Chains A and B, each alone.
Chain A
Amino acid sequence: MPGVTVLEIEGLSKSYRVGHLRPTYRPALLDLSLKVEQGEVFGYLGPNGSGKTTTLKVLMGLLHPDEGSAFILGSPLAERGWRYRVGYLPEHPYLYDYLTAHEYLDYIGRLFGLSPAVRRDRARQLLDLLGLARAADLPLRRFSKGMVQKTGIAQALMNEPDLVFLDEPMSGLDPMGRRLVRNLILDLKQRGKTVFFSTHILPDAETLCDRVALLREGRLLREGRLDEILELATSAMEVLVTGVDRSVLEAQTGLVAKSAVGERWRLEVAEDRLGAIVGAVERAGGRILAVSPIRQSLEEYFFKEMAADHEVPVGGFGD
């Protein structure tokens, strides 16, 4: 049901105390406000020290905020009820060495008050889903980093949550693991669940997210749909050409041809000159393979924004 707000943050601030004798307070999160709606995959982006993990920790009750408030699934943070419907994967999770993956998930299930049969079934399903079925009875101390990460994801889904917070879910995963988690996030979305995840991996955010928020030095820089943020630059087009020499092409079009894969050339053309350039390519004996609007990638946008004001980070730690 789109339009229902499942997360609402209003003016959230958090600073960390530094030093003992003469403590100073360094802000990690400053006046953050944002909303996430049901069924969205929401990407929370920002460089190290921008306040991503701090935000998630405040929401999960691991940190006490200095100011501001937040509502999860319509309830204030202090209430306990919403926790039955929320999953959380911390960054670089550390689980208990002495437990097996199955025992750990069973323990988590007990905290939700699930019956033994439900705990057993869900643990088995999740371990299957995440490719850990064969390691279910091994102690977690024998797990690789990627396997621990997957077990962390499994515990976040043990209660079949409506809203899942994932802090760097792709961290420590191999390409197959990343694909698995990407598919898992898409599957959750398909089932009407909301996923809020922080990441450094911008192509993942670009592939998965309906909306993103960009954080820098504890402040919200931008929030919105990806196409709004990235502003499709339809005034410029990319033309992919083949079957013609570079020098002939450049002479006919008056443009600089950039090399693409193989015997292909890439031209960047203003939209109002597209017709003329297509004609010039044909006259030069070339063939047009594709014409597409030039779109800024999230990565390009991210680096542009981060470079815009490159001062000393405010938070500097705690992410």
Chain B
Amino acid sequence: MNRLLAVAANTFRETVRERVLYNLVFFAILMTLSGLLLGELSIRQDEKIIKDIGLAAMDIFGTLIAIFIGVGLVSKEIERRSLYPLLAKPLSRDELFLGKFVGLGFTLLVNLGTMGLGLYLTLLLTGRRPEPRLLEAIYPIYLGLLLVTSLALLFSTLTSSTLAAVCTLALVLTGRFSDVIRNMKDVAPGAPGWLTEALYYGLPNFRNFDFKDRVAYGDPVPLHVLGWVTLYALAYMGLVLGLGLKVFRSRDF
């Protein structure tokens, strides 16, 4: 466990020193601030707009961070051969792989926390009451980001970082538009029903983690719904990480 945490701590240090992280955080802050401007332009909708844009910034830029940093975590180690000395140490491949996941997970948590704080501050500074209920949207966003990270790590063990980024992005986009797959029959009646059903249930459904609108409108998210979402995320992550571990264990370097 100590070795896993050592890898996680080093991964956290690695990711917070990545230039891409700061670029993305900068744009996320810019987007949140733009909510202020748009809020001024709309009548009585300003608070909702600030929340909408703030939560969307967390989701979009968090996803981009998870993809673009996540895909490099293992593939860069393989390409640059920096994992050679590590694997000769009393560190198992499982500990290295999972340590990377935990490390990036922590970076995303800190990042989401910072952006969340920024959103609360924006609301506070513009005279609105910062609601704890926003956490009902932020928590599922974090679960979604962890799932994206696990997918990025899986592809990172299989291929180069560029191809891994393309594959992860494609899967995330598909998962975000899973309704389109479900309703494919309406647009393409020839599509076999079993295939659309299999795709709908088989691919990661990122819509399950999207409570932004609901929270922005002030609708509560029941605890049992959050519980089911947590279970879904854990089960899917377990599957993806398990597959990633299997690939990573069997690889020659």
- Chain A residues within CB distance 8 Å of chain B: 57, 60-64, 80-81, 83-84, 86, 88-90, 92-96, 98-99, 103, 107-108, 110-113, 152, 155-156, 165
B17 interface residue (CB < 8 Å to A):
yes
Report chain A residues within 8 Å CB of B88. 60-62, 83, 86, 88, 90, 165
CB within 8 Å for A84 and B82 given contacts A57-B253, A64-B252, A98-B13:
no
Q: Is the CB of B2 within 8 A of A88?
A: no
Complex: how many Å from CA A84 to CA B80? 24
Residue of B nearest to A81 (CB): B90
Total A-B pairs, Cβ < 8 A: 75
Report chain A residues within 8 Å CB of B86. 111
B3 interface residue (CB < 8 Å to A):
yes
CB within 8 Å for A94 and B253 given contacts A84-B90, A86-B88, A111-B91:
no
* Nearest CB in chain B: distance from A319 CB, A: 13
Q: Is the CB of A113 within 8 A of B2?
A: yes
**8 residue pairs from A and B, CB less than 8 Å apart:** A57-B253, A60-B84, A61-B88, A63-B252, A88-B85, A96-B14, A98-B14, A111-B7
Beyond A83-B89, A107-B6, A111-B90: 12 further Cβ-contacts under 8 Å?
A60-B87, A61-B87, A63-B253, A64-B252, A90-B81, A95-B82, A96-B82, A108-B89, A111-B89, A112-B89, A156-B85, A165-B88
Complex: how many Å from CA A2 to CA B3? 34
Report chain B residues within 8 Å CB of A92. 81
Q: Interface 1/0s, chain B 1-30, versus A by CB < 8 A?
A: 011001101100110011000000000000
Complex: how many Å from CA A99 to CA B80? 15
Report chain A residues within 8 Å CB of B84. 57, 60, 62, 88, 90, 93
Q: Is the CB of B85 within 8 A of A155?
A: yes
CB within 8 Å for A62 and B85 given contacts A99-B13, A112-B90:
no
